[in-house]
Chain A
C-alpha cells in the first residue's frame, strides 16, 4: 500500500494570497462553473416562479386550487353513489359474505373502540362510549336506511363521528351490512332513549 500519495503538482496559475493567518494560507482559485450555474439557475428560477405566482398570477392560489380539487372529488362521489334509502338493498348486502367481511374489518379498526368488538357496547360494559348495536332497541331508528344515516352523518353531540366523509359511501355501507348481519329483517325494532 502506498503510504501517502504525493501532493498533486501545483498549478502555477493558482495564486496563494500573500497574507497568512496563524500559518493558514489561502488559494484564490476561480469559482467552479457548475457551482456558478447552480447559483444563477436558482436565482432565475426564483424570479420566474415569483412572476408566475405573484405578478402574472398564472398559478391559482392554494385556497382556490384546493377548493377546485375538492369539488372534483365531490363530483366523483356523486357520480358513483348508491341509493342509501333502499332498505331491501341493505338487507341483501347484510347476507352477502364479501360485504359483511369487508364491513367487519372496518368495524374492528374504527368502531370497536366505542361499540366494542362484540358490538354490544354499553350492554357489555356500562363504561363503553357507544350503545349496543345487537339489541333491537334503536336510539336513532332501526331501519337500514336510518342506521346508514346515523353512521354516515354521525351524532356529534354524543361523540359519534360522521363516517361517510372519511370512509366513503361503499365502506360505510359495508359496515352497516355488517351490523345488520346481527339482525333479521322481520325483527321488531323499538325506540330507545339514550342511556
Chain B
C-alpha cells in the first residue's frame, strides 16, 4: 500500500507540488495525469525515494520512507520496479545484461538460470531473441519494453511507469498499454502510471488522479474523469488549448 501525506516539493523558489495527499491500495492500478510540467514525474519519483520532499510523508506498506537514508531506501526499493520515460537502459550493456542486472546483483543464480529467466521475461514483453542486441540498436518502443523487462524480472510488488507511451506512435502505444495490463494481471502488481496520454490513462487506470496547479485536482474513476463537466478537466480530456493562448 502506498500512502502520500501532505507532500510538498519545491526546486529553488519554484513550488512544484503543494500538500499532495492520496492513497493507493495493493493491487490497484492508478493513472496520474496532468499537463506537461505539472509535477507528475516528480511525484512518481517521490514514491520510490528518488527525490526527497520538503515536507510530508510517503508511506510504503505503513513505513515512512522520507527520513530514510540512501542505504535504508535500497531495502524499500526491492518492492518496486520502475520503467523510466527514456527507458534509462545501461548503454554499456546488452539487452540481456540489462534485464539480468537485478538477478546478478541481488540473487545467487547460475548463468543458465539467469539466461532462462531473461529469455522468459523478454518473451513476456514480446521481444524474444533480442538478448545480444545493444540498446543503441533498439527503437523507442523496444527500449521501453526492455526497460519494463528489467523492472519486472524480479517480480516486484509495485511497478511504476513514467510516461510509458510518450514519443511512440499510436499502434506501439497501444501495444505498451496492453503490456502494462498483461504485467498487472499476470504478476498481480500494484500499478502506478504517469501519463498525459488520455487513452493510456483510460485503459490502464482503475482510478485516475489529475494534477493541476500543484495539487491533486481530481481523484476518481476513469468514467468520472471522462464524463466530468469541470472546465479544467474537460479541457485536458478534450485536449483543447486555452482560448487565451490561441494565436490570431
A binds B: no
